[in-house]
Amino acid sequence: MRNKPILFFYATTLLCVQATERLPVEITPSHAAIRYVGRFSEDFRVGWTGSKIEIDFKGVAVDAILELTEGDAAGITVVVDGKETFLKVQSNQRIYPIAAGLSPSQRHNIVLFKRSEGTLGEVRFRGFQFSDGSQVFKPNTPDRKILIIGDSITCGYGNEAATIEEGNTVENENGYLSYSAIAARELKADIMMICWSGIGLFRNHWEGSGTMPERFNRTLPLKETPLWNADRFIANVVIINLGANDMNTKKGERGPLEKAGYTSAYKDLLSRIRVFAPNSKIILSIGPKDSSEPVSNWLPEIAAEFTNTSVLVYTPPADHEGWGGDWHPSIKTHKKMAVELATEIRPATGW
């Protein structure tokens, strides 16, 4: 239930007072017009990259009510009628202006896309506020679904960094412009992104547990519970891009990746996927680091044991502009990868 504006007159945050007076129509996160894509908890918390909130409306303005529940900040790509802006969710703010000055007679599309990964912040969605007289509508739901499982490359780690030395931040990690998200939009498909920096199939970049097979079933990447119900998103296409962290020897601090351990972990994960997605097209991919060996040599052997499964090795960048923070793919490289991925998907799906 929304409080009357007069209760905010003595509040210290003027933004909330102004937003309350200007945008009196509030809807809760459980409203039927809101479309969710990705993994959300029952109380509408979200951590994984690529999770999306979408709604259509007729009105002049819209705000989002968001709370930071983990981390120092989280990055959101806001898309209003196809135009993208960056939103930084922080602990000292709750109501975020999304759009204003819109045509009241036109139907507008609003998307909130979590562009930063779960290690950088978790967010709870509390609903929308709209200008007086607004109408809300549920957007169309595509019948095409893509699930991608990957590491920092898939998350878009440092892809907007101006230099290699800049590393990865909430501001320069843009999952909305990662190769898989770009390809999904090109193919007009919903996407679920399960990705985590430093993660591997058999061993992570860091020491300890928490490989992708261990984290894959989580609704929230930082929480062991609740578990995700895989039946809620049955993908037509499943893409895996894991192996870069498995192969990393940490400058000789550990030995080369063992083939038996890696391929066994890969086959176990694929067997789990085949339980909830028995007919999906599966793409085993690696890259685009300078060298994808030996994993690129092992993937065809793994793929041969599963039906409707192929291999894609992404082309490494040809120049310095192809790299973002910490030698991760730049936006330029992600766009090229998206073309390669879409080219691999189209013949198998007819999309």
For residue 76, the domain's CATH number is 2.60.120.260
Q: Give the whole-angstrom CA distance, residue 268 versus residue 274.
A: 10
239 and 113 within one domain = no
Q: Report residue 236 as tokens.
A: 């037509």
Task: Please state, as a whole number, how many other Cβ atoms lie within 10 Å of the Cβ of residue 325.
Answer: 23
Is residue 337 situated within a structural domain? yes
pTM above 0.95, yes or no: no
Strands 190-195, 145-150: pairing is: parallel
163 and 119 within one domain = no
Each residue's pLDDT tens digit, 96-111: 999 999 999 999 999 9
Which among 137, 158, 174 is the end of a domain?
Answer: 137
191 and 61 within one domain = no
Task: Please state, as a whole number, how many other Cβ atoms lie within 10 Å of the Cβ of residue 298.
Answer: 19
Q: Give the whole-angstrom CA distance, residue 111 versus residue 82.
A: 9
153 and 275 within one domain = yes
Strand partners, 130: 25, 62
What is the mean predicted confidence (pLDDT) over 4-33?
Answer: 55
Each residue's pLDDT tens digit, 296-306: 999 999 999 99
Q: Give the whole-angstrom CA distance, residue 312 versus residue 237.
A: 13
Which among 137, 156, 174 is the end of a domain?
Answer: 137
Computed over every residue of the chain, the mean pLDDT equals 92
193 and 117 within one domain = no
What are the b/e assignments for 153-165, b being 16+ CB within 10 Å?
Answer: bbbbbbbbbeeee
- Contact residues for 22 (Cβ-Cβ < 8 A; gap 6+): 61, 131
Percent of the chain topping pLDDT 70: 94
Q: Give the whole-angstrom CA distance, residue 227 versus residue 240.
A: 20
Residue carrying structure tokens 């599309």 = 109
97 and 40 within one domain = yes
Question: How many domains does the chain fold into?
Answer: 2
What is the mean predicted confidence (pLDDT) over 199-227?
Answer: 93
171 and 79 within one domain = no
Q: Give the whole-angstrom CA distance, residue 16 versus residue 126.
A: 14
Q: What is the DSSP letter of 172?
A: T
What is the mean predicted confidence (pLDDT) over 204-216?
Answer: 90
Q: Give the whole-angstrom CA distance, residue 261 versus residue 276.
A: 24
Q: Give the whole-angstrom CA distance, residue 55 versus residue 340.
A: 31
Q: Give the whole-angstrom CA distance, residue 121 versus residue 171.
A: 12
Q: Domain residues for 40?
A: 25-137
Q: Give the whole-angstrom CA distance, residue 200 versus residue 157.
A: 15
E strand or H helix that includes residue 55: strand 52-58
